[in-house]
A and B are shown apart, each in its own frame.
Chain A
């Protein structure tokens, strides 16, 4: 092929891919158009890959084919088999793979420019440094997040004295090396006494260490923010790759990913009532245990039997179900859906109130309920449903705790004061399905459980709800 026509084709393919990505994400603004949008984005990706394979710089396809085959052999089963409950882990580990690719590209490009007369120039060297630092810290950070979500690394925040100072020192060290490399390597390696490779390697290692130390002190419940943030870093690193090699489709795709991760991190921080900085440097779980002031002494709860609960739920006209992560742990989604269908069959109305941090990552609870065949028009987020609790006969809380705690509104001394909560206490009656009286992630008592209108239904969510379902059927 004529090389000029070839180059033009590559660029056209990249433009089409950029457009397909943007339109694909636009499809995600509505559930009806989401699937087709993502199929379009996948086509764009395919086009970009085909275009690249025609690139005149590529002289050998052996290693490319090996890489593609290995990647597909791992990626396809991961995509097809990962259960929906494990989605946060799978997203975390995929950030690691993405960052690994970007970091390797960064290192390879840096080494390549040492053979190019004139070197990479200042701008490309800045981009290469950014790409490698953020890529490397995302590799280890995502692996740590994966470990905490999967459970082979303790979900408890791990802290030690002087941690923040040490973290800051490592970070400053990596950034300092980056600046030094920009100053010395932009024009290519110096003729004698050159230690560019050593320093670049050191910078990469420091960035890998930052990833570990950044995630270590963050508790398991804060993972939604961390995963979103790492999503953003992976995107920004990909964008920097685009700057480093002069490829616009990488810049566009990376910017989209970076923006998305950033928005989600902000949303998650808000939903957990904390600033970004607080999540990253606060080591929440450790501090709060000491901060819990209200004790449950002198307060009593009312517990009900499944039979009694079934009676109340079965005759209710307007039911709002508040699912929490506890429901997913107990695998009770299908029992919940069955109960919802039964209530509707009996003429009642059922809606689900989804708190932004109800799952382990943004939107996780919606996916779990959709998997259990709950229609998405039954799922409502906090702002949509919070005014509706007044008119609700029964609010059924399943495995949720902190997100329903009225102390967030009434008790300025509470560590969760100011956090947006679901107004469950406004409902006429509240039934709470719970394993026992253990506190939630924030480690504080929930006043909701001691209200007069609240009944506690103790037991494993799945078996208790199955009991309720059969009792309602018998009504």
Chain B
């Protein structure tokens, strides 16, 4: 029950962040009031997401702790989206190359992580009903 509420809260916060201003989308370096506001909202997002995560993950049974770790590892490879921008944006070439290496590293985790999690979860079976 808690986790449902917490999930809703987390999603709502992300939505509010979106509505509250476009300053979260671009790191253009414009200092000023809106940027600080946006960063306060980011702190809310972090706290609510961490709280949501805590509530959900304490309910994951020990049975599935290895798949859990593989899964969160794959999910946190979302840093791929940051790497993509650095590899493709208008920056000096050596920075683009750093971005490309980051893309490769994150992709290893995204692809490998989800594949291996699925491989594990596929193996967990219940007792078959007696024939």
Contacts and interface: CB of A to CB of B under 8 A. Distances in A.
Contact of B69 (A21, A249, A362): A362
Tell me whether chain A's interface is mostly helix, strand or loop, or mixed.
helix
Interface residues of B, number: 101
Interface in B14-50: 14-15, 17-18, 22-31, 35-36, 38-39, 42, 45-46, 49-50
A246 B42 CA distance: 8
Nearest to A262: B54
A84 B122 CA distance: 13
B90 A59 contact: yes
Interface string A44-76: 010011011101011111011011101110111
Residue from B39, B67, B119, B122 with most neighbouring chain A CB atoms (10 Å): B67
Given A59-B89, A71-B108, A377-B127, A98 B114 contact: no
In this complex, the member of B62, B83, B86, B91 whose beta carbon has the largest number of chain A beta carbons within 10 angstroms is B62
Interface in A112-163: 112-113, 116-121, 123-124
Contact of B76 (A22, A58, A107, A235): A235
Contact of A38 (B26, B71, B106): B71
Contacts of A252: 10, 14, 45-46, 49
A111 B14 contact: no
B7 A64 contact: no
B108 A257 contact: no
Contacts of A23: 7
A49 B112 CA distance: 16
Contact of A78 (B3, B26, B50, B112): B112
Contact of A101 (B52, B56, B102): B102
Interface in A61-114: 61, 63-64, 66-68, 70-72, 74-76, 78-80, 82, 84, 87, 90-91, 94-95, 97-98, 100-102, 104-105, 107-109, 111-113
Contacts of B15: 15
A67 B103 contact: yes
Contacts of B46: 239, 242-243, 251-252, 255
Nearest to B41: A248
Contacts of A117: 29
B25 to A, nearest CB: 6
A217 interface: no
A63 B87 contact: yes
B79 A256 contact: no
Contacts of A378: 127
Nearest to B107: A71
Contacts of B95: 108, 111-112
B71 A28 contact: yes
A442 interface: no
B122 A35 contact: yes
Interface residues of A, number: 127
B98 A248 contact: no
B76 to A, nearest CB: 4
Chain B contact residues, majority secondary structure: helix
Interface stretch (A368-376, A392-400, A420-428, A459-467): A368-376
B104 A246 contact: no
A80 B116 CA distance: 6
B82 A245 contact: yes
A363 interface: yes
B76 A64 contact: no
A192 B106 CA distance: 37
Nearest to B88: A58
A347 to B, nearest CB: 13
A197 interface: no
Residue picked from B52, B72, B115, most chain A C-beta under 10 Å: B72
Interface in B54-74: 54, 56-74
A123 B39 CA distance: 8
Nearest to A186: B31
A100 B72 contact: no
Given A22-B56, A90-B116, A108-B91, A375 B14 contact: no
Contacts of A26: 3, 7, 56
Given A67-B100, A70-B104, A101-B106, A381 B42 contact: no
Contacts of B123: 367, 370-371, 373
A264 B73 CA distance: 13
A253 interface: yes
Contacts of B73: 91, 94-95, 98, 231, 234, 257
Interface of B: 3, 7, 10-11, 14-15, 17-18, 22-31, 35-36, 38-39, 42, 45-46, 49-50, 52-54, 56-92, 95-128
6 contacts: A63-B99, A91-B70, A95-B73, A101-B102, A258-B53, A260-B53
Given A17-B78, A52-B81, A70-B104, 8 more contacts: A45-B110, A49-B81, A57-B85, A102-B102, A108-B86, A264-B68, A361-B66, A366-B66
Q: Which 3 A-B pairs have the closest CB atoms?
A: A71-B107, A67-B103, A363-B65
